[in-house]
């Protein structure tokens, strides 16, 4: 009897120790639900903080762009104001406990597309999710934000048609974002998605274009991906139709 109990205990212990340790990225909701106009913030600040200390997202009613850096959440709103947010709700956000696997430096002037190519060369593969932080000097940064929406919520493709765009020259700041594999288009934004926050904490938003002069690019690969589904009527009654690749590219990049 005693021996069999010991055996069970040993099996349990060895079973646990053989479990693979994973490095998790967590998101609340998905980009297709946001595209469909699901802007109610079903996730709390406590939820989002529990998912990591670096990431991006948006706020209740689509009220501006979210940047989390070193565990602090910033809102870059449609009036080009930046403020620290402590109490908020979010309809969509992606976060990671940031533990860089590697850092490389940029010493030449690169456009956003050239910066993406430089990061490409440092990805271990293209089928994992990577959290990315770029601290640098920029000769130009162009961002957008979006104003809070009223019900009935228009789809995101309509909202971005009138999105305010802001530009700054010669600015120091941080790009925060993710690389997401192509197979996951619609669950998140496939490819690169960056938000910007100035070092002075007075300028930020969803990046449309930039020119980096110099900087340090830190990459952190996740091998586990958690998706927390919204618990509200809008999500429950959604038919789950995807907007498709073209619509996602239209809302995420410069037209």
Contact residues: Zn ion, CB under 5 A: 206
State the minimum distance, in angstroms, from the CB of residue 133 to Zn ion: 15
- Of residues 149 and 214, the one with the C-beta less far from Zn ion: 149
State the minimum distance, in angstroms, from the CB of residue 87 to Zn ion: 22
- Of residues 34 and 222, the one with the C-beta less far from Zn ion: 34
State the minimum distance, in angstroms, from the CB of residue 126 to Zn ion: 20
State the minimum distance, in angstroms, from the CB of residue 21 to Zn ion: 30
| Angle at the Cα of 52 from the Cα atoms of 240 and 242, rounded to 5 degrees | 15
- Of residues 96 and 206, the one with the C-beta less far from Zn ion: 206
- Of residues 178 and 225, the one with the C-beta less far from Zn ion: 178
- Of residues 97 and 206, the one with the C-beta less far from Zn ion: 206
Report the residue closest to Zn ion, judged by CB. Answer: 206
Is residue 53 packed enough to be buried (19+ CB in 10 Å), middle (13-18) or exposed (0-12)? middle
State the minimum distance, in angstroms, from the CB of residue 194 to Zn ion: 8
DSSP conformation letters of the chain: -HHHHHHHHHHHHHHHHTSPP--EEEEES-HHHHHTT--S--EEHHHHHHT-SEEEEE-GGG-SEEEEETTEEEEE-TTS-EEEESS-EESEEEEE----SEEEEE-S-EEHHHHHHHHHTT-S-SSSEEEEEEEEEEEEEEEE--PPP-SSPPPHHHHGGG--EEEEEEEEEEEEEEEE-GGGBTTB-SEEEEEEEETTSS-EEEEEEEEEEEEEEEEEEESEEEEEPP-SHHHHT-------HHHHHHHHS--
State the minimum distance, in angstroms, from the CB of residue 144 to Zn ion: 8
State the minimum distance, in angstroms, from the CB of residue 251 to Zn ion: 9
The rounded distance, in Å, linking the Cα atoms of 121 and 101 is 15
């Amino acid at each position: 009897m005693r021996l069999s109990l010991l055996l069970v205990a040993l099996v349990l212990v060895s079973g646990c120790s053989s479990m693979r340790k994973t490095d998790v990225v967590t998101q609340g909701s998905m980009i297709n639900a946001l595209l469909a106009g699901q802007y109610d913030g079903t996730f709390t600040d406590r939820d989002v903080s529990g998912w990591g200390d670096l990431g991006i997202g948006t706020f209740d009613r689509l009220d501006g762009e979210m940047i989390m850096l070193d565990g602090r959440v910033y809102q870059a709103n449609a009036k080009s104001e930046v403020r620290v947010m402590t109490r908020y709700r979010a309809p969509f956000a992606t976060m990671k406990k940031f533990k860089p696997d590697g850092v490389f430096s940029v010493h030449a002037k690169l456009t956003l597309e050239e910066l993406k190519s430089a990061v490409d060369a440092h990805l271990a593969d293209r089928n994992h999710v990577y959290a990315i932080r770029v601290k640098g000097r920029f000769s130009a940064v162009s961002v957008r934000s979006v104003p809070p929406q009223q019900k009935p919520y228009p789809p995101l493709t309509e909202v971005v048609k009138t999105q305010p765009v802001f530009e700054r020259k010669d600015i120091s700041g941080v790009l925060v974002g993710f690389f997401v594999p192509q197979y996951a288009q619609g669950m998140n934004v496939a490819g690169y998605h960056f938000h910007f926050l100035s070092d002075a904490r007075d300028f930020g938003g969803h990046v449309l274009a930039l020119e980096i002069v110099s900087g340090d690019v830190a990459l952190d690969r996740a091998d586990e991906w958690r998706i927390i589904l919204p618990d509200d009527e809008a999500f429950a009654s959604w038919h789950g139709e995807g907007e498709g690749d073209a619509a996602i590219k239209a809302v995420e990049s410069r037209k």
